């Protein structure tokens, strides 16, 4: 029996559509919010109650990714179009470096509980002002 790839493609596309219908949208509604959120992130670092052990740029990328897409930990998820460019402008890094850091962030979230705790701390603090 041959596989009908057209049917497989249609079903796969439909499951992705259903996932987006069920998923809660992120807090980041516009890319124009990123510079203001970075300023808030820097301010929170100054008044931080916990010890920051990881690179602040990685923490910010993780927080913004979570604000943009709550399912960013899914292996197949990518940065939204334009978000990497905006992050590279705000953080002063090349766009390719942002993409590599995004992959690192996903790995750190799986491996290090202390990284997850720091990301959750900053996410909660930054979500309060939204």
> What's residue 48's pLDDT?
80
Place 72 in a pLDDT band, splitting at 50, 70 and 90.
confident
Average pLDDT over residues 84-98: 92
Is the confidence at residue 20, as pLDDT, over 60? no
What is the residue extent of each domain of the chain?
A: 27-128
Is the confidence at residue 77, as pLDDT, over 80? no
Cα 62 from Cα 110, distance rounded (Å):
12
Average pLDDT over residues 53-68: 91
Is the confidence at residue 23, as pLDDT, over 80? no
């Amino acid at each position: 029996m041959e596989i009908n790839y057209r049917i497989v493609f249609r079903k796969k596309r439909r499951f992705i559509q259903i996932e987006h219908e069920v998923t809660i949208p992120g807090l980041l509604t516009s890319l124009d919010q990123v510079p203001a959120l970075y300023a808030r992130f820097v301010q929170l670092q100054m008044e931080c109650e916990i010890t920051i052990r990881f690179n602040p740029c990685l923490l910010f990328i993780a927080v913004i990714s979570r604000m943009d897409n709550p399912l960013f930990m899914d292996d197949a998820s990518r940065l939204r179009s334009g978000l990497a460019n905006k992050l590279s402008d705000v953080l002063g890094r090349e766009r390719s470096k942002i993409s590599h850091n995004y992959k690192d962030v996903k790995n750190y979230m799986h491996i290090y509980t202390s990284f997850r705790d720091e990301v959750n701390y900053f996410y909660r603090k930054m979500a309060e002002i939204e």
